[in-house]
Amino acid sequence: MKYEIIENYDDEKFRRITGVKRTTFEKMIEILQKSYAEKHRRRGRKPKLSIENQLLATLEYLREYRTYAHIAASYGIDESNIYRAIKWVEEVLIKDGTFSLPGRKELLKSDEEYDVILVDATETPIERPKKTEKFLFRKKEKTYTENPANS
């Protein structure tokens, strides 16, 4: 889905489609535009996708687990181009640090206590009646037929 289509959506629908709020999306665009301006300060080839569409493709990749081939087909460009665009967006946003999550050590340093509930999901045997020899080796009942010689 291209950005030109979803930019007119209301905030709730925009968030449902992209996975982020509009303000967060706009902040990401600002970071990407600054990085793009630094990268192409003197000159450079313009990308086939706008920065908004590159970010939207990245969010589709991360949120929907779509393959590069599917995303490339929906935007009408080659798979290698979409791969490079997504990697560039990821690297720029990670390098900026605005959207990074605290690490595990950071959580251990904090004064907040967390309540953790563990669920035991180990396998337990099913209780079934034991099989005895009586049921395993049934004796055939004798069938009584008339002896043809006696008749």
Would you list the domain boundaries of the chain?
3-102
| 30-44 per-position pLDDT tens digit | 999 999 888 877 777
Number of H helices, E strands in the chain: 8, 0
Query: With 0-12 CB in 10 A as exposed, 13-18 as middle and 19+ as buried, what is 54?
Result: buried
pLDDT band at 137 (very low <50, low <70, confident <90, very high): low
The pLDDT of residue 67 is 92
Statement: residue 76 has pLDDT above 60: yes
| Nearest of 85, 94, 121, 84 to residue 28 by alpha carbon | 94
Residue 56's pLDDT band, with cuts at 50, 70 and 90, is very high
User: Please, what's the largest Cα pairwise distance for the chain?
Assistant: 118
Q: Which of 61-70, 110-119, 137-146 has the lowest mean pLDDT?
A: 137-146
Mean pLDDT, the chain, integer: 82
3-state secondary structure 78-125: CHHHHHHHHHHHHHHHHHHCCCCCCCHHHHHHCCCCCCCCCCCCCCCC
Q: Which residue has the higher pLDDT, 104 or 11?
A: 11
Amino acid 119: pLDDT: 74
What pLDDT is stored for residue 104 in this prediction?
64
Q: Indicate whether 2 pLDDT > 80.
A: yes
Q: What is the mean pLDDT of residues 69-75?
A: 93
- ∠ CA 27-51-75, nearest 5°, is 130
Provide the residue type at 56 as one letter. Answer: L
